[in-house]
Amino acid sequence: MSIKLKDICKHLGGDLSGDGEIEITGVSGIKDAEPNQITFVANAKYLSAIATTQASAIIIGKGVSGNGKATICVDNPYWGFVKVLELFAWDADIGPKTGIHESVVLGENVSIGEGVTIEPFSVISDNVEIGDETIIKPHVYIGPDSKIGKNGLIYSQVSIRENVTIGDNVIIHCGAVIGSDGFGFTPDPSNNSPYKIPQIGTVVIEDNVEIGANTTIDRATIAETLIKSGTKLDNLVQIAHNVIIGEDCCLAAQSGMAGSSTLGDRVNIAGQSGVVGHLSVGDNSVLYAKSAITKDTPPNSQLSGFPARPHKQELRVQAATRKIPDLIHEFKNLQKKVVELEEKLKAFEHTDD
């Protein structure tokens, strides 16, 4: 596909300098861009690359020169870059609406909205509701009594178990499992072996949520596991039973939430981090990579380490820890000097005798 530069400028609401008739065929970084591509400069360290880039156009900020190249000037070049990516993204041209493929298995009392696409070999169970314009890719399973909202995009190999509710504009990537049983067991009094606790609750995913590939969201033991609107889950994230995740949270890959833990709104959790069960994390908090929260956390916290503590405190601990080998070496030298002094003192005392 190609888009005239003037149309991109209109889309961004920016100021155009140069030939608006240039046909733009793609988006790239400033060092890798080729002719007929558009790039951007949002960081001062890349300003020097403006002179050498092969891009046909550059998105720039106020006060930046395009060095003779066509430019679109906007208040926030990085945001402009994101909005241009949307124009060229594969999802923006996901293909023609194909309706329901003949190989799809449809249960009884299924309600399908207008403009829905269901691709080959998907299984839609009894009493499922699917909202308008939703796209379901091949080999998807949707269990009985589940509800899928409008304008959803569900990629291949996704499994959505029974009685799950998913809102509008939700994207679920390949291999995700929504509504699997929570990890609930209790000792059997007769032999102390793990005895499975029935997981009869559900999962509710609100609007504008994105769920990464191979992420798992367990159904509640009772009541619901809840992912609130605007939250984004990376690949390989584990959400246990009865977890509540607030609005506009971001959880990076290999992070996990133990059962009945709660995140406030706009919480960011970095990779390989987690929250212990039955704990709460306050709004606007950040948990850095490879960290674990082991107690309730107030709003606006920045935490790292294991167990997690205020990030600046953890950095001081790490800095002090790195000095330990030198301190040990110094301590051994001091021990040696003490021994030498003791020997000299004994010799001195012996001389006095």
- Is 101 considered catalytic here? no
CA 68, distance to chain mean position in Å, is 39
Torsion of CA 133, 143, 265, 207, to 10 degrees: 10
Q: Which member of 101, 139, 173, 241 is catalytic?
A: 241
Residues marked active site are found at 241
